[in-house]
Amino acid sequence: MSTSARIEAALAAALAIVDAKGSPPRLAAAMRHAVFPGGARVRPRLTLSVARACGENDPVLSDAAAAAVELLHCASLVHDDLPCFDDAPLRRGRPSVHRAFGERLAVLAGDALIVLAFQSIGAAGARAPQRLAPLLSLVAGGVGMPGGIAAGQGWECEPQVRLRDYQRAKTGALFAAAAGAGALAAGADARPWLALGEALGEAYQVADDIRDVAASVQLLGKPVGRDLALGRPSMARERGLEGAIAQFARLIGAAIDAVPACPGAADLRALVRREAERLLPETPRAEAAVPAA
Amino acid sequence: MSTSARIEAALAAALAIVDAKGSPPRLAAAMRHAVFPGGARVRPRLTLSVARACGENDPVLSDAAAAAVELLHCASLVHDDLPCFDDAPLRRGRPSVHRAFGERLAVLAGDALIVLAFQSIGAAGARAPQRLAPLLSLVAGGVGMPGGIAAGQGWECEPQVRLRDYQRAKTGALFAAAAGAGALAAGADARPWLALGEALGEAYQVADDIRDVAASVQLLGKPVGRDLALGRPSMARERGLEGAIAQFARLIGAAIDAVPACPGAADLRALVRREAERLLPETPRAEAAVPAA
């Protein structure tokens, strides 16, 4: 099975319980809308790639970890799109959850997706109890306080923010958790993998800033210029487009350098390079000094 | 240490990380506002009471489970008070989180409290790995889909709802999880304890319906009549005040009957009776046929 097919199957398995007898059908539909069809699924791909590089021996647990990471990402998008945050009408080229299902179901879908991530880990973790606690703590830390996604979004509500702390929490933390979760699911140490995830996550956020000012709505599937309009911290605004592109290239280089020596190292470096090429739309990417393969 | 003091200490310990270096201070303050000072803390008291009745031998884990259950309850209140749901200006006699901190921080505080609940369980569960997976699954099921709090709130967004399913999900499920979590934290079987929690939770919801139509704002610390004004499913509306009071008494009786035979049974039955007396304000309680002690 391809990595993509594995991820979709793991997500479908995690989502299966939302249609169980006695569950409210509109909330179930809102949750599915938030998860399918997906974006690039870069976080769960990172989880599975790292698990393989660590000699994956419990694919059920890696699948659950990968699904959990993606469910948490989807939950953060649903809440980030809410009227009180970005008020985004579109996500992945379709109506955002609150536009399609209303604000109440969007709040609930986000909440229930967060919980579902932990249900997914709990269900798979029963067979590998020694791996469960560190996996749970790492993944939860990627989205909670003091340094996960919620903390990153919390910085948007502060009068002053350090851009690096903000980006590290809002994007880097879940990427780091995604990478580390792959190692933990394989019974390996998470620590050597965190820097890879963090650098890739920060690069992702910088690319998003760049696209926010540079890309067209057709390419992104969401309105652009919104982060700037909302006054959100932005690398492209703080350093200009050229400075942001240079920072992106540095972060991609750091991610490639952070891949630990292991049998799967070449595959992982290739994954980072493919992401770099995918992340920036045509115009700015032509100027970016992405390290050669 | 008294049970109340244990619960407050467990919650303070869980909340400690929100003030860690690098965390956004307003989100941390919003989370504290949502948790302290608390309400009756009935769910964590149930967790600790059941843990003791099951021969508690890992108080760190029971404390974490009790804290997790209460954090999830507080999170649900924060989101339930949001403008798109109840738009409640007051909670526990103080401004609701969105009134005090704004809507964005209220969404984030709820999200981060959900995550914190699982961080709390993960941190304590490392020492008792065999107990962690069932504890995680049970607690998550009490708040997620298909039958936890989010599902219950989801039923408020459906055109048709069965009152019993709604109340069971919105309130009964987390009470059942609270009771079962106490057993699991003590290394015991959760199943004999679920019916106690579920009956108590449903009684709690029915009492809330009754108070919504009968109590004064001074007694509740929140505006009354709001569930009816919002058109939410309500036992007091469906069956009238007398029917709801009779149902409350039946549920309290069922909770008392559901206490399994164990050394702590008398204490647990007393806890249920105290809750019954506390739950209904003066006027309707005088009419309620609460089983005698």
Whole-structure pTM value: 0.91
User: What is the full DSSP assignment across B143-198?
Assistant: HSTTTSHHHHHHHTTSSS--HHHHHIIIIIHHHHHHHHHHHHHTTS-SHHHHHHHH
Residue B95, classed as helix, strand or coil, is strand
CA-nearest residue of chain A to B31? Answer: A145
**Does residue A104 surpass a pLDDT of 90?**
yes
Structure tokens at A87: 């008020």
Structure tokens at B60: 């760190």
**Does residue B3 surpass a pLDDT of 50?**
yes
Distances (CA, A) of A199 to A171, A214, A256, A271, B256: 10, 22, 9, 13, 56
Smallest CA-to-CA distance from A182 within A65, A8, A260 is with A65
Domain count, chain A: 1
Residue B94, classed as helix, strand or coil, is strand
Give the nearest partner residue to B146 out of A18, A122, A157, using CB atoms: A18
Do the Cβ atoms of B119 and A137 come within 8 Å?
A: yes
Q: Which long-range contacts (CB under 8 A, 24 or more apart) does A282-290 make?
A: A283/A214, A283/A215, A284/A210, A284/A211, A284/A214, A284/A241, A284/A245, A287/A242, A287/A245, A288/A245, A288/A246, A288/A248, A288/A249, A289/A246, A289/A249, A290/A249, A290/A252
What are A178-189's pLDDT values in tens digits? 999 999 999 999
Number of H helices, E strands in chain A: 16, 2
Smallest CA-to-CA distance from A105 within A121, A129, A81 is with A81
Do the Cβ atoms of B146 and A116 come within 8 Å?
A: no
Do the Cβ atoms of B28 and A103 come within 8 Å?
A: no
For residue B43, tell me if it sits in a domain.
yes
Do the Cβ atoms of A136 and B125 come within 8 Å?
A: yes
Candidates B111, B119, B198, B232: best to mutate against A (most CBs of A within 10 A) is: B111
CA-nearest residue of chain A to B29? Answer: A154
Residue B133, classed as helix, strand or coil, is helix
Structure tokens at B81: 């008070």
For residue B85, tell me if it sits in a domain.
yes
Candidates A76, A115, A135: best to mutate against B (most CBs of B within 10 A) is: A115
Residues of B in contact with A133 (CB under 8 A): 122-123, 125-126, 129, 132
Percentage of the residues of chain B whose pLDDT score is greater than 70: 89
Span B201-223, average pLDDT: 72
Percentage of the residues of chain B whose pLDDT score is greater than 90: 71
| CATH number of the domain encompassing residue A56 | 1.10.600.10
Phi, psi of B232 (to 5 degrees): -75, 150
For residue B8, tell me if it sits in a domain.
yes
Q: Residue A121 in contact with residue A136, Cβ under 8 Å? A: yes
Q: Residue A223 in contact with residue A197, Cβ under 8 Å? A: no
Mean pLDDT of chain B: 89
Distances (CA, A) of A35 to A27, A30, A31, A219: 13, 9, 6, 20
Rounded Cα distance, B212 and B164, in Å: 18
For residue B137, tell me if it sits in a domain.
yes
A185: containing domain: 3-287
Q: Residue A179 in contact with residue A50, Cβ under 8 Å? A: yes
Residues of B in contact with A60 (CB under 8 A): none
Give the nearest partner residue to A111 out of B79, B125, B126, using CB atoms: B79
Distances (CA, A) of A32 to A101, A109, B137, B245, B268: 11, 9, 21, 39, 41
Rounded Cα distance, B247 and B289, in Å: 10
Q: Residue A109 in contact with residue B79, Cβ under 8 Å? A: no
For residue A239, tell me if it sits in a domain.
yes
Residues of A in contact with B157 (CB under 8 A): 24, 26-27, 101-102, 104-105, 108
Least confident of A235-249, B15-29, B119-133: A235-249
Local structure of residue B90 (DSSP, 8 states): E
- Count of CB contacts below 8 A, A vs B? 214
Smallest CA-to-CA distance from B8 within B87, B90, B88, B66 is with B66
For residue A292, tell me if it sits in a domain.
no
This complex has an ipTM of: 0.91
Phi, psi of A276 (to 5 degrees): -60, -40
Do the Cβ atoms of A23 and B123 come within 8 Å?
A: no
Do the Cβ atoms of A145 and B21 come within 8 Å?
A: no
Q: What's the confidence (pLDDT) of residue A220?
A: 53
Q: Residue B114 in contact with residue A117, Cβ under 8 Å? A: no
What are A155-178's pLDDT values in tens digits? 999 998 888 888 889 989 999 999
Residues of B in contact with A129 (CB under 8 A): 129-130, 132-133
Q: What's the confidence (pLDDT) of residue A212?
A: 78
Q: What's the confidence (pLDDT) of residue A216?
A: 45
For residue A293, tell me if it sits in a domain.
no
**Does residue B185 surpass a pLDDT of 80?**
yes
Buried-state track B106-123, b at ≥16 Cβ within 10 A, e below 16: bbbbbbbbbbbbbbbbbb
CA-nearest residue of chain B to A27? Answer: B154
Rounded Cα distance, B199 and B122, in Å: 28
Q: What's the confidence (pLDDT) of residue B53?
A: 93
Residues of A in contact with B146 (CB under 8 A): 17-23, 28
Q: What's the confidence (pLDDT) of residue B222?
A: 57
For residue B292, tell me if it sits in a domain.
no
Give the nearest partner residue to B144 out of A112, A137, A157, using CB atoms: A112
Q: What's the confidence (pLDDT) of residue A288?
A: 43
Given pLDDT bands bounded at 50, 70 and 90, which one contains residue B289?
very low
Q: How far is B11 from chain A (nearest CA, A)?
A: 15
What are B125-175's pLDDT values in tens digits? 998 999 999 999 999 999 999 999 999 999 999 998 888 888 889 989 999
Q: What's the confidence (pLDDT) of residue A91?
A: 95
